Amino acid sequence: MAEQASGSEGPLSGTVVLDLSRALSGPHAAMLLGDLGARVIKVEQPGTGDETRSWGPPFVGPDDERISTYFLACNRNKESLELDLKSPDGAALLTRLVRAADVLVENFRPGVLDRLGFSAERTAALNPRLVQCSISGFGHDGPEGGRAGYDQIAQGEAGLMSLTGPDPETPTKVGVPIGDLLAGMNAAYGVLSALYERHTTGRGRVVRTSLLSSIVGVHAFQGTRWTVAGQAPRAIGNHHPSIAPYGAYTCADGMLQVAVASRGQWQRFAGLLGIDADDPRFADNAARVANRPALDAAVETALAESGRDTWLERIGAIGVPCGAVRTLDQVYEWDQVRSQGLIAEVDHPVLGPVELPGSAVRFSDAAATAAETPPGHRPPPRLGEHNDTVRAWLETLDEPGSATSATAERDGAGP
């Protein structure tokens, strides 16, 4: 295991991740590993870097160094190393990095890394303990395995857009690049599994996932509606296809959401709204789903009598799940979000103090109190910010007899 960069702590402290990815799925995966304490070295094209550095607006910062907020969203807790992988010097340095790393993350189109001389077979020969994570758009094999993959394309191809939107005639993408994000999450958990396995086997392995597999993998009950029941689901807006009332409703001054998922909840909710809970059209969930238009009309007629805050208080008081529909500015101002450590405060070298969307995972000891301190984070790096740092670290590993040499570290204890 390599010496950890200062300022990082967590379950993966001491683990080195070589991030050869760009755009979102791979960078998101590597960022999640960095959130867990790994040292993440992001390899970028000299002069331009990850293409997301140019994705905008919005851009922030001074005119001579405009920074993409897109890049800031998926690259915290990383170091940036400029490296031309097609040059002899770049290939030689990448070889040294592969030998020193625990994990390699890449999301090139299938075959690109092979043509650069770093196939899975060669990286395993250079470092048998290396866990290599490869993310593609549609899979690494199969009749369409070589296709390039971008999130919205994958959302459409994997059926997600057909399930999303106000009606079947208006297929709609999810408001965030969910295919990329899910692929990054799947990649991270695959890497963690392989690192755990390495404790026993002493060897790494190749972990593969894709945008296609990540979206199909979360079809959940919508998938089994087709595979088991033979029903092809279609979009129905903000209501649940199998539970009612469960969705968004309009009240006197806006919208709220309720989720009535049991008989007891229905009886309490109906009583609060003055609806006959035993009406044959609404007596059980199957009947309510079948008679959703009449049910929705009755619910909204009752809700129109008062404002959202009043109804949220009343519905919450009877133990029925309910909630507001917040805009993102309201979400980041919400004290509950801040209490959960969901905002990462970092000191950026150009922008100064900024807030980023934070990690969804928290760790504590069994005896920890509710006032535990969220982990510290490092800001997304400037392009090439750690060129000298990474090269100097590699030099220490190459010193004869060094206790921190790559070979000594791979032969030692740890993941």
CA distance 163 to 155: 10
Beta bridge partners of 248: 257
Residue closest to 148 by CA, chosen among 159, 160, 135: 135
The DSSP 8-state label assigned to residue 402 in this structure reads: -
One-character DSSP codes across 145-204: TT----HHHHHHHTTHHHHSSSSTTS----SS-HHHHHHHHHHHHHHHHHHHHHHHHS--
| Dist. CA 153–CA 114, nearest whole Å | 25
**Residue 104: other Cβ atoms inside 10 A:** 29
The residues, ordered by sequence, that sit 6+ positions from 357 with a Cβ below 8 Å of its Cβ are 73, 342, 343, 344
State the burial class of residue 1 (Cβ atoms within 10 Å of its Cβ: 0-12, 13-18, 19+): buried
| Cα(95)–Cα(320) distance, integer angstroms | 58
Say which DSSP state 348 is in: E
Partnered with residue 194 across adjacent β-strands are none
State the Cα angle at 34 between 92 and 195, rounded to 5°: 75
Of the residues 180, 279, 284, 398, only one is catalytic, namely 180
User: Residue 301 CA to chain centroid, in angstroms?
Assistant: 39
Active site residue 180: yes
> Distance (Å, rounded) from C-alpha 12 to C-alpha 343?
21
| Residue in this structure with the two tokens 């090269």, named with its chain if needed | 391
Residues in contact with 290: Cβ distance below 8 Å, sequence separation at least 6, in sequence order: none
Residue type, 319: G
Asked if 133 and 187 count as a contact pair (C-beta separation under 8 A), the reply is yes
> How many other C-beta atoms are found inside a 10 Å radius of the C-beta of residue 254?
12
SS (H, E, C) 229-263: CCCCCCCCCCECCCCCCEEEEEECCEEEEEECCCH
Active site residues: 180
